[in-house]
Amino acid sequence: MLKRSVLALVLALGMTQVHADESAIKKVLTTRFPGVEVSSITKTPYSGLYEVVIDGQVSYVDDNANYLFLGSVVDLKTRRNLTQERTEKLNTVNLSSLPLEHAMKFVKGDGSRKLIVFSDPECPYCKRLEQELIKVNNLTLYVFPFPLDSLHPGTTAVSKSIWCARDKNLAWQDALLKNKLPKNDGTCDNPIAADIALGNSLHITGTPTLIFANGQRIAGAMPAEKIEQLLNAIK
């Protein structure tokens, strides 16, 4: 779902009448919307459009900065979704930049493959993914608790209590697989606030979000067979 700030630009840019280049477009956006993060502006090779990345989302403006275009650009000759390809590239995560000490680590089998998951213990799709992960072997799994209280009130407190349990890995699996929560007040030293900030900095807006060893990011639960396919495709 597009963020409200991006949707608001549709009307506002329609009133802008200056001829724009990259710097002028950025000035228009940041002046009119101080809270918007414009991470890049790039001239595209098609139809005189400029690609703008706003709050982690790809959209386009015309060369006069009069109109903002939302949606996908598709090359009809090759049937490639150029916007999707660009979004996937922008969403690639540098795994070396992740503070893995802030995640729960699960080693299965020989642990030869790596997967990182941002997960909310109260999210039904995360619970579905946890069921699928049981079927995946030879894996080192890092789980960053990423509670979304706006969707699941109280889940931050649950995440803290899981981290503060005597065995946090077991507490995590009990919570997601058995709906059994630990009995503590969650007041130990924990990284939950830092994990939330990390997820926000990566523009993660939903759970679960999976990150593979090649940096590929995919949102949403998926069956074990698909996870195996993506793990095995990594050279």
Q: What is the DSSP letter of 3?
A: -
CA dihedral 204, 100, 91, 43 (to 10 degrees): 110
* Residue 2 confidence (pLDDT): 44
Range of the domain at 70: 4-90
Clarify whether residues 217 and 144 are in a common domain. Answer: yes
The CATH number of the domain holding residue 62 is 3.10.450
Q: What is the DSSP string of 26-48?
A: HHHHHHH-TT--EEEEEE-SSTT
pTM of the model: 0.77
What angle, rounded to 10 degrees, do the helices at 168-178 and 155-163 form? Answer: 140
CB 208 within 8 A of CB 227: no
Q: Which residue has the tokens 């009990």?
A: 174
Contacts of the segment 165-173: beta carbons below 8 A, 24+ positions apart: 168/104, 169/104, 169/105, 169/106, 172/104, 172/121, 172/143, 172/145, 173/130
Tell me the C-alpha to C-alpha distance, in Å, between residue 87 and each of 48, 90, 92, 132, 199: 19, 5, 9, 26, 17
Q: Centre a 10 Å sphere on the Cβ of residue 111 and count the other Cβ atoms it contains.
A: 14
Clarify whether residues 129 and 228 are in a common domain. Answer: yes
CB 58 within 8 A of CB 86: yes
* Residue 40 confidence (pLDDT): 86
Q: What is the mean pLDDT of each run of 10 residues along the chain (235 residues)?
A: 49 46 81 79 88 87 80 93 89 93 98 97 97 97 97 97 97 97 94 97 94 95 97 89
Smallest CA-to-CA distance from 54 within 16, 118, 9 is with 9
CB 57 within 8 A of CB 4: no
* Residue 6 confidence (pLDDT): 53
Q: How many structural domains are present in the chain?
A: 2
Clarify whether residues 169 and 73 are in a common domain. Answer: no
Pairing label, strands 139-145, 113-119:
parallel
Clarify whether residues 130 and 78 are in a common domain. Answer: no
Smallest CA-to-CA distance from 123 within 209, 1, 218 is with 209
Clarify whether residues 86 and 41 are in a common domain. Answer: yes
* Residue 30 confidence (pLDDT): 77
Residue at a domain's end among 39, 66, 90 = 90
